[in-house]
A and B are shown apart, each in its own frame.
Chain A
């Protein structure tokens, strides 16, 4: 499995990271080095083995579906790069 320039471009897009065109070939070759390294997992006989979900067998706890926290608008917005009138602000979204 070899990654080409177009695949690198697609992955960068999926990851929402702007990659300039002149970096795509370099990126593709780095991906190939890493994926070439992990390729050896193909040698392992995994027949009948379940994928690990959790290192310690545990059941996630449940709790009553009630409000336990809230009313912290100022704290929630305190670190926003742009907040206005009690909301996070982002560039206009036109669909």
Chain B
């Protein structure tokens, strides 16, 4: 049987509890640092290891990628599509290199698997668009250039 505990008058009055709660709210509102920022004007600093927008690294204007297909192999979302080709200055290079952004889960496995340090994830995080985005090779190369 459930016994109802008898409460004292002060406990039943509740006003003191309400004032106590309001004190905490006021303390946080007035004296703690603000969490929100004015986004486009103010920007948060992210770690260098942040996994954001992809880019392909280039050395002396030539893409590092040799189309070894390790990134599509390891990619859990199957969002990387590469076609390999041959040209006089490079035995194997990607003719087509596409990243389907809607499928990408930004796990960074491609970056880890890459033997040539070619595919990288930058710390650019503003990638929202209103259409289906597929990054092609040209875009990925220009993205961060020769950083």
Do these two chains interact? no
- By a beta-carbon cutoff of 8 Å, the part of chain A in contact with chain B is none
- By a beta-carbon cutoff of 8 Å, the part of chain B in contact with chain A is none
